[in-house]
């Protein structure tokens, strides 16, 4: 509740500003209100950017989308996309409607899986129902400002233009999540995602000119990003250093990472991961398995936190460091400097990305499955996890779940999960120790009793020997590294 009130205190002024048709900004009248023409029609574009499966059993599902605009099927091409996490490079749907600045458009978005016998609808909605309506995203789009409300809205805890089947609390409905955008285009204008009406009446700009990338107040953030999230792109106040969602990313950093779908009002964690070469040329390298990544991302998604893993797709991760049988503190620090910072202690990723090294084995006082060695960095002993995989199966877990669990454990240390007696308590590892039973209520991967088995932090629902890890974690702690 406290976190929600804090977020609302940051968000309310922006939402009010968004709704006041730009009365707060001090823009110069750059364009005359005498328009060259009055638009007759406008095209509403639904751009689905990314789709990720969450609880589908299929290893390579085939998915497609249905989009209805004012009740009509608006999908341009019925493409099939293969994979558990797909990025889509062109808009899915478009429909031309009569232009009315006071008008609104109803939009429904569905995600389907192509099956041999009968296709099935997937759950991407917060609605609760057994039928299609409970798995459909229902939105109302407003032509005046280009915003929308309904099952998704500006300030939504799960992100603006981001919906998940987990939001209804039921994870047994073939759940998925999607990221999308909606905007309008007209004859001779569009491209910057600003509406015709707001260009003329709010920003006093040429409605036929594309202002993509324009930064009128010099804060480093372009007009289209500030407009989308309700900020005033002409304000004298510098909002670039503010962090409305308290996730450690300033508005400027949220803009920098928006190419990977971050949101200034919904919490994001960015994690860069590098691996290690195998001992021999024919040996498997030590990497963060995709299957484990999916499990870990789901754990955070349940709490409306989006975990973004860069294992090579975001321009920084995915490198394989030379094989070393044992890594210790000094070697880990040197690796961080070389492969994460690239010898630049002012690297822009510092204070934005957490960093992980998947190596062979780690040795401190004893061999370990993982260790946190800096405020933003940790390492996983990949060979250690492989060696003990047999025991994980005996305990009801498996290799991928165990890997996700130990990554979540070490990431938890960089998020501030340290000062609690149930965390890293050596005696909770062994059933013949009283601490194993004493801390049984603390069902968290931070507890040695549950690491490799549980991919979750505790929600603190027990009065004795427990804490709510999800309330304790501090995403802004990453700023201590910069």
H-type helices in 242-320, by residue range?
251-256, 290-301
427: Cα separation from own chain's centroid: 36
pLDDT of residue 2: 40
pLDDT for residue 482: 72
Written out in words, the top-level CATH class of the domain with range 40-185 is mainly beta
Q: What does the pLDDT read at residue 330?
A: 87
pLDDT at 34: 47
Taking each helix axis as running N to C, give the angle between helix 399-414 and helix 290-301, from 0 to 180 degrees, rounded to the nearest 10. 50
Token pair in block for residue 18: 């968004």
Torsion of CA 371, 374, 376, 378, to 10 degrees: -20
The two tokens of residue 94 are 């478009």
What does the H/E/C string look like for 73-127?
Answer: ECECCCCCEECCEEECCCCCEEEEEECCCCCEEEEEEEEEECCCCCCEEEECCCC
Contacts of 265 (CB under 8 A, 6+ apart): 7, 11, 154, 155, 156, 157, 159, 160, 229, 244, 245
* Alpha helices, DSSP H, located in 165-222: 196-201
> Which secondary-structure segment (H or E) carries 164?
strand 162-164
Q: Are 84 and 61 within 8 A, CB to CB?
A: yes
Domain boundaries, the chain: 40-185, 267-481
Tokens 């039973």 sit on residue: 437
Among 46, 52, 51, which residue's Cα sits nearest to residue 68? 46
Q: Is 438 helix (H, G, I), strand (E, B) or coil?
A: helix
User: What is the per-residue pLDDT for 23?
Assistant: 41
H runs (alpha helix) in 49-119:
none
pLDDT tens string 356-366: 999 999 987 77
- What is the reported pLDDT for 129? 65
Integer Cα distance of 353 and 376 in angstroms: 8
Residue 373's pLDDT is what?
95
Q: Along the 482 residues of the chain, how does pLDDT read in single tens digits? A: 444 444 444 444 444 344 433 444 444 444 444 445 567 899 999 999 999 999 998 889 999 999 999 999 999 888 999 999 999 999 999 999 999 999 999 999 999 999 999 999 999 999 876 566 789 999 999 999 999 999 999 999 999 999 999 999 989 889 999 999 999 998 777 789 999 999 999 999 999 999 999 999 999 999 999 999 999 999 988 889 999 999 999 999 999 999 999 999 999 999 999 999 999 999 999 999 999 999 999 999 999 999 999 999 999 999 999 999 999 888 999 999 999 999 999 999 999 999 999 999 998 777 789 999 999 999 999 999 999 999 999 989 999 999 999 999 999 999 999 999 999 999 999 999 999 999 999 999 999 999 999 999 999 999 999 999 999 999 999 999 87
What does the angle CA 317 – CA 480 – CA 371 come to, to the nearest 5 degrees? 55
pLDDT digits (tens, 9 = 90+) for 28-41: 444 444 445 567 89
Is CATH 3.40.390 what the domain over 267-481 is classified as, yes or no?
yes
Which residues, 6 or more positions from 177, have their beta carbon under 8 angstroms from its beta carbon?
51, 52, 54, 124, 162, 163, 164, 165, 166, 301
In 10 A of CB 342, how many CB atoms? Answer: 10
Q: Which two tokens stand for residue 312?
A: 């090579």
Neighbours of 20 (CB within 10 A): 12
Fold equal for 40-185 and 267-481: no
CA angle 97, 98, 102 (to 5 degrees): 105
Instruction: For residues 349 and 242, give the distance between their C-alpha atoms in angstroms, rounded to a whole number.
Output: 17
Q: Write out the two tokens for 61.
A: 């599902």
Tokens of 429: 């590892």
E strand map for 375-448: 377-381
* pLDDT score of 21: 38
């Amino acid at each position: 509740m406290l976190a929600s009130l804090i977020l609302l205190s940051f968000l309310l002024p922006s939402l009010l500003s968004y709704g006041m048709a730009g009365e707060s900004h001090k823009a110069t009248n750059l364009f005359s209100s005498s328009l060259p023409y009055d638009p007759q029609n406008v095209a509403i574009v639904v751009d689905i950017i990314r789709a990720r499966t969450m609880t589908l059993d299929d290893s390579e599902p085939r998915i497609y989308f249905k989009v209805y605009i004012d009740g009509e099927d608006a999908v341009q091409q019925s493409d099939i996309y293969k994979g558990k996490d797909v990025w889509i490079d062109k808009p899915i749907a478009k429909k031309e409607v009569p232009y009315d600045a006071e008008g609104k458009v109803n939009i429904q978005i569905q995600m389907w899986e192509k099956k041999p016998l009968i296709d099935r609808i997937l759950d991407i909605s917060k609605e609760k129902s057994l039928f299609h309506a409970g798995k459909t995203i229902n939105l109302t789009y407003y032509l005046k400002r280009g915003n929308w409300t309904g099952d998704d809205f500006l300030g939504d805890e799960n992100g603006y233009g981001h919906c998940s089947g987990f939001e209804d609390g039921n994870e047994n409905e073939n759940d998925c999540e999607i990221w999308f955008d909606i905007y309008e285009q007209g004859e001779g204008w569009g491209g910057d995602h600003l509406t015709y009406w707001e260009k003329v009446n709010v920003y006093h700009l040429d409605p036929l000119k594309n202002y993509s990338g324009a930064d009128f107040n010099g804060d480093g953030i372009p007009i289209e990003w500030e407009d989308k999230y309700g900020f005033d792109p002409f304000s004298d106040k510098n909002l670039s250093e503010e962090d409305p969602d308290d996730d450690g990313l300033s508005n400027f950093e949220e803009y920098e990472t928006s190419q990977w779908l971050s949101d200034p009002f919904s919490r994001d964690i960015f994690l860069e991961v590098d691996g290690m070469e195998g001992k021999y040329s024919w040996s498997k390298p030590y990497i963060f398995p995709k299957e484990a990544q999916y499990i870990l991302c789901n754990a955070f998604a349940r709490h409306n936190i989006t975990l973004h893993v860069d294992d090579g797709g975001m321009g920084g991760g995915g490198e394989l460091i030379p094989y070393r049988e044992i890594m210790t503190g000094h070697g880990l620090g040197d690796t961080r400097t070389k492969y994460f910072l690239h010898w630049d202690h002012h690297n822009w990723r510092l204070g934005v990305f957490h960093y992980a090294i998947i190596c062979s084995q780690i040795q401190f006082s004893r061999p370990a499955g993982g260790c946190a060695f800096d405020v933003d960095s940790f390492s996983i002993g990949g060979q250690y996890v492989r060696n003990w995989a047999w025991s994980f199966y005996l305990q009801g877990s498996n290799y991928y779940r165990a890997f996700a669990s130990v990554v979540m454990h070490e990431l938890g240390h960089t998020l501030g999960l340290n000062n609690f007696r149930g965390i890293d308590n050596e005696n909770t590892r062994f059933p013949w120790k009283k601490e194993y039973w004493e801390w049984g209520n603390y069902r968290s991967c931070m507890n040695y009793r549950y690491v490799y088995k549980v991919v979750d932090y505790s929600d603190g629902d027990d009065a004795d020997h427990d804490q709510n890890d999800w309330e304790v974690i501090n995403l802004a702690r990453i700023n201590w590294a910069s």
